[in-house]
């Protein structure tokens, strides 16, 4: 706020204003309208104006899964305040949806959301990408159609640790 020389600022609505330079500490104010006046002297009509304080945007967001595999990296973050922009220094992300658009390298990354309102703000959250293990190759023998009650042998190729599961439980 600037005023003419020798004037004085006053508040008519409960804010603290420096009478000579008009500075106002907005951090102590709650959202709402505040009225200020600037007066040059006893015979002048004061100039009145309104300061409107709006709430800061909330940049918080959630990530359904903050640990992803480098080959299965699809996750859609959910912002508290919609219509912002997504970014990352180390990930390629869609700026509108926040979805990772290309395979990431293993490691820790940060996903940043910046709100687009009048009082924008931003927040970054860590996203961990783990290296995908090699995909095992296996062969069903003798073919893929089996008779009930017959034996089935699964063979794994490669030098990886593996375990067979049946309906979510490990098979001994």
User: How does pLDDT run across 66-102, given as a tens digit for each residue?
Assistant: 899 888 888 899 999 999 999 999 999 999 999 999 8
The predicted pLDDT at position 16 comes to 82
Buried b (16+ CB within 10 A) or exposed e, 84-113: bebbbeebebeeeebebeeebeeeebebbb
54 vs 19, more confident: 54
Q: Could you count the other beta carbons within 10 Å of the beta carbon of residue 155?
A: 9
Average pLDDT of the chain is 82
- In terms of Cα–Cα distance, which of 98, 100, 131 is closest to 114? 98
CA distances from 143 to 139, 140, 152, 157, 167 (A): 8, 6, 10, 17, 22
- Is the confidence at residue 1, as pLDDT, over 60? no
H-helix segments, the chain: none
The predicted pLDDT at position 124 comes to 97
The predicted pLDDT at position 13 comes to 72
Plot region of 145 (φ>0 → left; ψ -120 to 50 → alpha; else → beta): beta
pLDDT in tens, 98-150: 999 988 899 999 999 999 988 899 999 999 999 887 666 665 555 567 778 87
The predicted pLDDT at position 120 comes to 92
């Amino acid at each position: 706020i600037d005023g003419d020389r020798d004037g004085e600022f006053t508040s008519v609505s409960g804010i603290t204003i420096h009478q000579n330079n008009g500075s106002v500490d907005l951090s102590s104010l709650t959202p709402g309208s505040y009225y200020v006046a600037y007066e040059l002297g006893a015979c002048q009509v004061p100039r009145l104006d309104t300061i409107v304080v709006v709430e800061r945007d909330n940049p918080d967001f959630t990530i359904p899964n903050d640990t992803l595999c480098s080959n299965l990296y699809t996750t859609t973050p959910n912002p508290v305040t919609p219509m912002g922009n997504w970014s990352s220094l180390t990930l390629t992300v869609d700026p509108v949806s926040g979805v990772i658009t290309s395979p990431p390298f293993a490691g820790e990354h940060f996903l940043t959301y910046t709100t687009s309102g009048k009082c924008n703000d931003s927040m970054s959250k860590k996203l961990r990408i783990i290296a995908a293990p090699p995909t095992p190759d296996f062969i069903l023998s003798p073919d893929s159609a089996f008779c009930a009650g017959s034996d089935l042998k699964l063979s794994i190729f490669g030098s990886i640790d593996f375990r067979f599961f049946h309906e979510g439980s490990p098979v001994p």
